[in-house]
Amino acid sequence: MSDPRVDLSVEDHVARITLRRPEKLNAIDEEMIDALLKACRIIERSDARVAIFAGEGGESFCAGGDIEAWSSLDAETFSRRWLRDGHGAFDALARLTVPLIVVLNGHALGGGLELAACADLRIAESHVKIGQPEPGLGIIPGWSGTQRASRRFGAQLVRRMALFGEVYAAQEALALGLVDQVVATGEGAAAAEAAAARVLRRSPRATELTKMLINAAEGEESERVVEALAGAVAAASDDLTEGLAAYRQKRPARFGK
C-alpha cells in the first residue's frame, strides 16, 4: 500500500507503517485516518507477525490532529466524523492481532501520544518530548487520550499531562512508564527491528492469543476477545465437522459427547 500520507509495506513477516506528512509534523487529517484504517485491514489479511510504526522525518512522530483540518468543522461533523472515524482507526491499531512497535523518532503530542498508546512497545529517541496539549486549545484528548491512555499509563499520569500541561522528555517518559526504551537519536528504527526479530522467534499463534488476552485484561475489546477465543475452540471441534456434514447431507446431526 502506498498512500500520500501513510506508507505500508509487508516483508519477511514484518509490517512497516510510516506517517508521511513531515511538512505538517505528521499531523493527522481525515485522509490519514482513512489510510491508517486501510493499513490495519491489509495487515490483518497479510502474513505479518509483527508491525513497526514510525513517522517520516525526525522532528515529530506525530503532532496530533491537524488543527487546520478539524477547526473548520461544525460541531456535529467534528463529533460524528472526526472523532468517530478517528476512534475507528486508533482502535484498529490497538487491536491488531500482531504486536505493534511504535518508534517515537520525533515529538509525540496530543493525537501522537494517543497513537503511541495503541502500541505494545514504545521506543523513544532521546530528543523527543511527549504530552497532551489539547485542553490548552479548548478541546479534549479525544482519540482515547483519557481512556486508553489511562489504562496504559495510569490515570494520574494522564492527569498531569492533560490537566496540568506537563510535557516530558524521553528519559522522564521512560522513568514514568510512558515509553519502554530510549535510544540515541537516529537509532529508533534499528531498535524496533531488533524487537521485531525477537517477536518472530516466538510462536505466532501463542503470541496472537497472548496479546488478545492482555487486551481483554485491560478492558480493550473484551467482548470480541471472548467470542473470538470461544469461536476458535468451536471451529476446531468434531462437532463443527459433524454439523456441517449433516447440513450438506440434509440429515439430523449426530453429535458425540
Same domain for 220 and 97? no
Confidence of residue 41 (pLDDT cuts 50, 70, 90): very high
Same domain for 133 and 238? no
| Cα separation, 25 vs 63, whole angstroms | 6
Query: Does 234 fall in a domain?
Result: yes
Per the structure, the complete domain to which residue 103 belongs is given by 6-200
| Cα separation, 132 vs 141, whole angstroms | 7
Share of the chain above pLDDT 70, in %: 98
Query: Does 256 fall in a domain?
Result: no
First-residue to last-residue Cα distance in the chain: 48
Same domain for 192 and 243? no
Grid coordinates 491499531 are at which residue?
A: 93
Confidence of residue 223 (pLDDT cuts 50, 70, 90): low
Grid coordinates 492481532 are at which residue?
A: 97
pLDDT at site 1: 66
Mean pLDDT of 131-157: 91
Structure-model confidence comparison of residues 4 and 108, the more confident one = 108
C-alpha cell of residue 24: 505538517
Query: Does 136 fall in a domain?
Result: yes
Query: Does 255 fall in a domain?
Result: no
Which of 120-124, 235-239, 243-247 is modeled with the greatest confidence? 120-124
pLDDT at site 102: 98
pLDDT at site 155: 96
Q: Whole-number mean pLDDT of the chain?
A: 91
Domain count, the chain: 2
Confidence of residue 242 (pLDDT cuts 50, 70, 90): confident
Q: Indicate which CATH number applies to the domain containing 112.
A: 3.90.226.10
Instruction: Read off the pLDDT of residues 7-39 as tens digits, 9 standing for 90 and up.
Output: 999 999 999 999 999 999 999 988 999 999 999
At 154, which helix (H) or strand (E)?
Answer: none
Confidence of residue 257 (pLDDT cuts 50, 70, 90): low
pLDDT at site 210: 94
The answer to whether the predicted template modeling score (pTM) of the entire model surpasses 0.85 is yes
Query: Does 161 fall in a domain?
Result: yes
Residues 6+ apart with CB under 8 A from 201: none
Same domain for 51 and 31? yes
